[in-house]
Structure 1
Amino acid sequence: MPVTHEVFNQAEPLIGYDAAARDTPLQESVRRLADEPTAAGLSRIGRLLGEPDIQQWGIDANAYPPVLKTHDRYGHRVNEVDFHPAYHELMTVAVREGLTGTPWADDDPHAHLRRAAGFYLWSQNEAGHGCPISMTYAVVPALRHNEELAREYEPGLTSTVYEPGLREPATKQGLLAGMGMTEKQGGSDVRANSTRAVPADDGTWRITGHKWFTSAPMCDLFLILAQVEGAGVSCFLVPRILPDGERNVFNLQRLKDKLGNRSNASSEVEFDGTVGWLVGDAGRGVQTIIEMVSMTRLDCVIGSTAGQRAALVQAINHARGRAAFGARLVDQPLMQSVLADLALEVEAATALMTRLASAFDSGESEFARLAVAASKFWVCKRSPYVVGEALECLGGNGYVEESGMPRLFRESPLNSIWEGSGNVISLDVLRAMGREPESVSAVTKELALAAGADKRLDEHLDRLQLSLQEATPQTARRVAQDLALGLQASLLVQHAPSYVADAFCATRLDGDWGQVFGTLPASVDAAAIIDRAFPE
């Protein structure tokens, strides 16, 4: 075969590197909020991310999505989902690294932060399998509303053993948990749910109805919401396999054909006399399950930050390896402005998500209640913009599936919808402010730590105080946005290099910015910001 051309001026594949060690904002945050050993320990996952075979797991898990198996060859209903082996490899590492319920059983004072950093890193490879990982982490505090059930299931939920397959939970070394809240007629309005639960003679309940979005249906147990006559919406634990080894009624109707998140099975489920156990008091189902939702919202922030980081790293790698018009792309002023702008966004999200995770280590529940909701709104909303701009940095190559960028882009809107879409989550910010004023005090105290350090931040916080006092449903999105921006700027002003904090405050708070990425002020040290984001 004649050789017609040689391949040159292409970026090298991003392999053989430590994703944790080359993430300066992450390293600094973890060292500050925890310690050096915790930060150094992240390299165990970081090095895995640079392995080509492991990167292939993420590709394969999405190229060969899960398949629903409603019946066996003889016509018996089995309600199972088959996954590609790559999915199980991803799950094995995630569980082994303690990314599920392990922090709830760990006496490490930084267990939640360590787990958050690990979840952030591992999600950069493949996001879909993170759904059951996140729900298993989040279920533990809600399950503790029933001490007997917590004693029975917590050992499996906090295990570091991944053991797929439907078997009686007591016989398994590791368990996974899911959640079923929404129904087709109500969506986020769970009080409109029609699923009903009636008490049985043996102390259990019989549940009849449906759930419109139940992800990871091959988990071992689920928290679901159902109406109890005379009480209202209540929370129940529903295992796939009952204590006697029989299969519970958990009829999978179909799997959702989603925009992204292809490796994760999201299903519609029908209950017909399904056995469940009450968790918490009857009629207080929303209050019970909201503890699980709060933790999964934290993971939405972490997961969105991870997707932004994965896209940024690919964009910087491409710009360093490709030349145009006589210079490397990364040395061209306008490309530098774009990459630095993206890096500012990702560093601010990283600082915020690590601070949120550390709040669970230190028991700052009032701070977390409001800060997680506002952060979930803002950071998740930013993802499609960040990932879309990063994709464009690769030009046509970024639009091609082999680059991996289309998968990141399809994933980017998900966390903004999951666990409360924009309107729901911003209204929840107002609800927290009204019902739990101590949460406002806690966030205000956090913001005050940076008072006087930057005039632009001080002015933003003055405006924020006024908007908090005058907040209405019509201004809920603006309030959530400004809370999150204030928290991000406060953290950067206190802890990031001055060239990072100054650029963030000038653009995000003071208006010296256009309406697209790459419109930084000329005074910004773009090259330094890029090198900090991903050192060569």
Structure 2
Amino acid sequence: MAATTHTVTNQAPPLVGHDVYGDDRALTEGVERHLAPELLDTVRTELGELGRAAGSAQAQEWGRQANENPPILRTHDRYGNRIDEVEFHPAWHRLMGRAVSAGLTDAWGRPGGHLRRAAGFFVWSQAEAGHGCPVSMTHAAVPALRADPELAAEWEPRLTSHVYEEGLRPAAQKAGVIFGMGMTEKQGGSDVRANTTAAEPLEAAGEYLLTGHKWFCSAPMSDGFLVLAQAPGGLSCFLVPRVLADGTRNVFAIQRLKDKLGNKSNASSEVEFDGTWARRVGEEGRGVRTIIEMVAATRVDCVIGSAAIMRQALTQAVHHATYRSAFGARLVEQPLMRNVLADLALESEAATALMLRLAAAQDAVQDRGDEQEQAFLRLAVPAAKYWVTKRCTPTVAEALECLGGNGYVEESGLPRLLRESPLNSIWEGSGNVQALDVLRALQREPQALNAFLVEVGLARGADHRLDTAVKDLLTELADLDGIEARARRLVERMALVLQGSLLVRFAPPEVADAFCASRLGGDWGSAFGTLPHSLDLKAVVARARIAG
């Protein structure tokens, strides 16, 4: 080959060595807006360290290795003994170790815990998204376990530990543990009340043997799982440890690992219970009410995870356009590309602002028992989960296109993001489930709508397009005819006016103006890159750029 013809020019430099936290203005401003002043120095330091780690070549390599070497199921050892173990690439364990040591399973009880943990989860998920699943479930198991104070006292210190220990051993012998969850079964899916897994009580109070299956059980090498099963008193919640206190393996037969569209680094499995020992969590017959605390927390993580994917895709697109030239100018300077990038930046900042607001509300509930914020979360979480996760896939697809053919190549990392992007809209209840949950809250909990409208109303009078959108929303809420068939439209409008209110109050004027003109004012086409040309799009794109 003639080496003289292989001179590399007009390519963007590798996007490594940057601070994923510090270079994100929407994120840093949001954290400082919501966090108590006395915590700022500490949180800046911890998130800065994590941000630089997430932007390092090492973390990017771990992400690549974990996805190109997916987990392998080992059902038996060489002698034929059933072991049901899942083997992960070392890069997976390195990613998990950094996540746990950064406190991403530790929000409960820490000052500002949910906000600092949400920001950290957002930052570290941009290095690799798949391992976020067990991190999220471990974090979210805490409020469910608190339904049984004895269990919580035993397990919570292990779940919130900053030490990651791989391998199956009795939980009491480990400095930290990881949790999973098993709710859905093949005959019911989201309709968990159709579950058939049976729970037979033992003589010891609160102990049962489970028989049945789970169609989706994520991260099956976790130390424990919260599952639903039918007890004599009805559908109940149970804690299933992988290893019993005496060191023997609990009955936990992994039938297969799912071959998924994306999320390749993470193991999702089908499991069978056959006399599997379990401890009841909460009262018999109140399993959904018990585990819903876990679901609420993981739904917030779906919002955070999707916002992180969107931000990483935007970062890649802006970085490429900053260095790549075509037709005599850098892409970022060309009006049409600038319009596309600005549109993507609006989507990303709106998602970031919303996920931080949810985390701040969680802290208000945890730290002060704030009933208004609790009511706000009841509507805001499913609405945000519906909308932000829905916007993730088109955002990533458009960002990929900004790189042209380079973006379609695996080495760019964008195909992996694209495959990952639909996951959070499906996990913990797909779009219809979220929309119907919003309707349920509207019908049964009027204080939730009041809290939502109070929040949105904080921006009243600041932008006429937002004010008009809120009035239109109230009109829709007043018309109950065919409300279920209109639920998606209604929830979309709720999420958009909430995002608009946040941006009008807290974002730079050029960002808020562009968002309201396009998402609320109707001056927007059916694809990204159709913002009104009169807006200050250059400033919007400049805000989204990383330093350097």
Matched, 1:479 2:484: no
Aligned to 1:215: 218
Letter in 1 for 2:103: G
User: Is 2:516 the partner of 1:505?
Assistant: yes
Deviates more, 1:391-400 or 1:476-485: 476-485
- 2:452 aligned with 1:433, yes or no? no
Does the CA contact (< 8 Å) of 2:55 and 2:127 recur in 1? Answer: no
**Aligned twin of 1:273:** 275
Partner SS for 2:186: coil
Q: How far apart, in 2, do the equivalents of 1:535 and 1:139 lie?
A: 35
Greater Cα shift, 75-84 or 46-55: 46-55
How far residue 470 of structure 1 moved from its aligned partner, in angstroms, is: 2.6
Alignment partner, residue 92 of structure 2: 87
**What CA distance in whole angstroms lies between the structure 2 residues aligned with 1:222 and 1:469?**
42
Q: Distance in 2 between matches of 1:22 and 1:67?
A: 37
Q: What is the letter of the counterpart of residue 390 of structure 1?
A: A
Equivalent residues of 2:386, 2:435 under 8 A apart: yes
Asked if 1:350 is matched to 2:359, the reply is no
The structural deviation recorded for 1:40 is 4.8
What does 1:73-472 align with in structure 2 at a 5 Å threshold?
73-100=78-105, 102-106=106-110, 108=111, 110-203=112-205, 204-229=207-232, 231-363=233-365, 364-471=373-480, 472=483
Deviation string, structure 1 residues 73-122 (Cα, Å, up to 9, x no partner)? 1111111100000000000000000001x11142x2x1110000000000
Deviation at 1:456, TM superposition (A): 0.6
Give the partner amino acid of 1:16. G
Separation (CA, whole Å) in 1 of partners of 2:491 and 2:234: 30
Residue 198 (structure 1) shift: 1.2
1:165-201 Cα deviation digits (max 9, x unpaired): 1111111100111110000011000011111111011
- Does the aligned pair in 1 maintain the 2:318–2:544 contact within 8 Å? no
How many Å apart are 1:439 and its aligned residue?
A: 1.3
Residues in 2 aligned to 1:223 and 1:40: alpha-carbon distance in whole angstroms: 34
Unmatched segments (≥5 aa) in structure 2: 366-372
Instruction: Report the alpha carbon displacement of residue 401 of structure 1 after superposing the two structures with TM.
Output: 0.2
Q: Contact 1:383 / 1:412 at 8 angstroms: preserved in 2? A: yes
CA contact (8 A) 2:315 2:546 kept: no
| Alignment partners' CA distance in 2, 1:466 and 1:283 | 39
Question: Any unmatched runs of 5+ in structure 1?
Answer: none
Q: Which residue of 1 aligns with 2:545?
A: 534
Partner of 1:4: 5
Task: Report if aligned partners of 1:30, 1:39 keep a CA contact under 8 Å in 2.
Answer: no
C-alpha separation in 2, matches of 1:465 and 1:168: 54
Secondary structure of 2:265 counterpart: coil
Give 2:69's aligned residue: 64
Residues 283-307 of structure 1: CA distance to partner in whole angstroms, max 9, x if unpaired? 1111111110000000000000000
The match for 1:525 among 536, 540, 545 is 536
**Contact 2:383–2:494 (CA under 8 A) maintained in structure 1:** yes
Q: State the shift of 1:335 in Å.
A: 0.2
Helix, strand or coil at the partner of 1:104: coil
List per-residue Cα deviations over 1:138-159 (Å, max 9, x = no partner). Answer: 0000110011111111110010
Q: Which residue of 2 aligns with 1:489?
A: 500
Post-superposition offset of 1:123 = 0.3
Given that 1:105 and 1:158 are in contact with CA atoms closer than 8 Å, whether structure 2 keeps it comes out as no
Query: d(CA) in 2 for partners of 1:479 and 1:247?
Result: 48
% identical equivalent positions: 62
**CA distance in structure 2 between the aligned counterparts of 1:348 and 1:512, rounded to whole angstroms:** 17
The number of residues matched between the two structures is 532
2:55 alignment partner in structure 1? 50
What is the SS of the residue equivalent to 1:19? coil
Amino acid at match of 1:221: G
Q: Name the SS of the counterpart of 1:26 in structure 2.
A: helix
Structure 1 residue identity aligned to 2:432: N
* In structure 2, C-alpha distance between the alignment counterparts of 1:222 and 1:175, rounded to whole Å: 11
| Deviation per residue, 1:366-386 (Å, 9 max, x gap) | 111210110000000001100
1:425-458 superposed Cα distances (whole Å, 9 cap, x missing partner): 1101111222222111111111110111111101
AA in 2 matched with 1:119: F
Moved beyond 6 Å, runs of 4+: none
